């Protein structure tokens, strides 16, 4: 497949705008990044201070692993550099790193021993794909914390970082965004159900394992692509300019 940086920029700008539409953003904090294939260690990120709803593809910065802005106007925020550069370095399979403080998933991260429970179909897609980090040591604005978070993520697709938020990695922006979206929906349903105080129905491991059996990754990959294309059409109509 031929790589076009313009496609990657448009997808990343779309992901920022879509996340804002779904309420997954928080102020001007948090970041989505996308790996550039070469030179090694370079990635795209939003310039500090820009709102997610106004991102344009051409505004995205190219930053190297040392935090040098090699293309574009603006600054890279330290936690964007240290969380994202370290995870991209540790996970060559990841094309994107999506970090948010999205409300419902973050609420699970502040519960002692909080876990995304296998109580809804949406939660089942994350069976055996989540890592939990119970250590919170302050803002992730230095290299050691970025490296520690990358270690806590390991080979998982999702990291719940205690008292902070979630980090999702994806083999493509479409796949990462699809996971981020469904993670929030699954967390929301779980917390709503828990708020009733009534017992939850857990799906047995055997069913969850069958749900994510061998054919499932391909189905999810295809669904993510179709979902993201549909969402980009909505943006094209209602929030044009993101791909410019
Ligand atoms: Zn954060």
Question: What separation in Å is there between the alpha carbon of 67 and the centre of ligand 1?
Answer: 18
Residue 141 in domain: yes
Comparing C-alpha atoms, which of 204, 199, 72, 67 is closest to residue 142? Answer: 67
- Res 179: pLDDT: 97
Residue 243 in domain: no
Residue 231 in domain: yes
Question: What separation in Å is there between the alpha carbon of 228 and the centre of ligand 1?
Answer: 24
Write down the residue that tokens 């090699």 correspond to. Answer: 70
Question: What separation in Å is there between the alpha carbon of 205 and the centre of ligand 1?
Answer: 31
Question: What separation in Å is there between the alpha carbon of 158 and the centre of ligand 1?
Answer: 14
pLDDT digits (tens, 9 = 90+) for 103-132: 999 999 999 999 999 999 999 999 999 999
The 10 Å Cβ neighbour count of residue 39 is 9
First to last CA, the chain: 23
What whole-number distance in Å separates Cα of residue 131 and Cα of residue 112?
Answer: 15
Residue 205 in domain: yes
What whole-number distance in Å separates Cα of residue 106 and Cα of residue 201?
Answer: 22
Residue 37 in domain: yes
Query: Residue 35 corresponds to which tokens in the numbers above?
Result: 């790996």
Question: What separation in Å is there between the alpha carbon of 13 and the centre of ligand 1?
Answer: 19
Cβ contact 135:160 at 8 Å: no
Write down the residue that tokens 């002692």 correspond to. Answer: 112
What whole-number distance in Å separates Cα of residue 80 and Cα of residue 60?
Answer: 13
Question: What separation in Å is there between the alpha carbon of 100 and the centre of ligand 1?
Answer: 6
Residue 198 in domain: yes
- Res 138: pLDDT: 86
Residue 244 in domain: no
Count of structural domains within the chain: 1
Residue 99 in domain: yes
Question: What separation in Å is there between the alpha carbon of 62 and the centre of ligand 1?
Answer: 20
- Res 193: pLDDT: 98
Question: What separation in Å is there between the alpha carbon of 191 and the centre of ligand 1?
Answer: 21
Question: What separation in Å is there between the alpha carbon of 210 and the centre of ligand 1?
Answer: 33
What whole-number distance in Å separates Cα of residue 15 and Cα of residue 52?
Answer: 9
Q: What is the CATH number of the domain that holds 184?
A: 3.40.225.10
Domain span holding position 27? 5-238
Question: What separation in Å is there between the alpha carbon of 30 and the centre of ligand 1?
Answer: 5
- Res 2: pLDDT: 65
Question: What separation in Å is there between the alpha carbon of 140 and the centre of ligand 1?
Answer: 7
Question: What separation in Å is there between the alpha carbon of 139 and the centre of ligand 1?
Answer: 7
Q: What are the angstrom distances between the C-alpha of 3 and each of 6, 64, 95?
A: 9, 19, 12
Question: What separation in Å is there between the alpha carbon of 1 and the centre of ligand 1?
Answer: 33
Q: What is the mean pLDDT of each run of 10 residues along the chain (244 residues)?
A: 87 98 95 92 96 97 94 94 95 97 98 98 95 92 93 98 97 98 98 98 92 81 96 96 96
3-state secondary structure of 29: strand
- Res 211: pLDDT: 84
- Res 212: pLDDT: 83
Write down the residue that tokens 């293309």 correspond to. Answer: 71
Question: What separation in Å is there between the alpha carbon of 165 and the centre of ligand 1?
Answer: 6
What whole-number distance in Å separates Cα of residue 34 and Cα of residue 15?
Answer: 11
Residue 133, phi then psi, degrees to nearest 5: -115, 115
DSSP-derived secondary structure letter, 84: I
């Amino acid at each position: 497949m031929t790589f076009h940086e313009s496609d990657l920029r448009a997808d990343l700008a779309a992901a920022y705008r879509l996340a804002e539409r779904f309420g997954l953003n928080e102020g001007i904090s948090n970041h989505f990044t996308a790996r550039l294939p070469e030179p090694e260690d370079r990635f795209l990120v939003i310039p500090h201070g820009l709102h997610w709803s106004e991102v344009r593809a051409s505004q995205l910065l190219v930053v190297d692993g040392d935090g040098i802005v090699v293309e574009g106007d603006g600054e890279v925020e330290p936690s964007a550099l240290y969380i994202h550069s370290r995870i991209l370095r540790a996970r060559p399979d990841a094309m994107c790193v999506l970090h948010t403080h999205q409300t419902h998933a973050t609420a699970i991260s502040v519960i002692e021993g909080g876990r995304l429970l296998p109580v809804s179909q949406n939660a089942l897609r994350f069976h055996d794909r989540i890592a939990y980090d119970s250590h919170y040591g302050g803002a992730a604005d230095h290299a050691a914390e970025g490296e520690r978070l990358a270690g806590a993520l390991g080979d998982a697709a999702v990291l719940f970082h205690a008292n902070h938020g979630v980090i999702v990695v994806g083999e493509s922006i479409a796949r990462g965004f699809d996971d981020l979206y469904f993670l929030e929906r699954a967390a929301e349903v779980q917390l709503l159900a828990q708020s009733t105080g009534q017992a939850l129905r857990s799906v047995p491991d055997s069913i969850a394992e069958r749900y994510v059996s061998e054919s499932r990754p391909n189905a999810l990959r295809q669904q993510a692509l179709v979902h993201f294309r549909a969402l980009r059409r909505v943006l094209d109509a209602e929030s044009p300019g993101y791909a410019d």
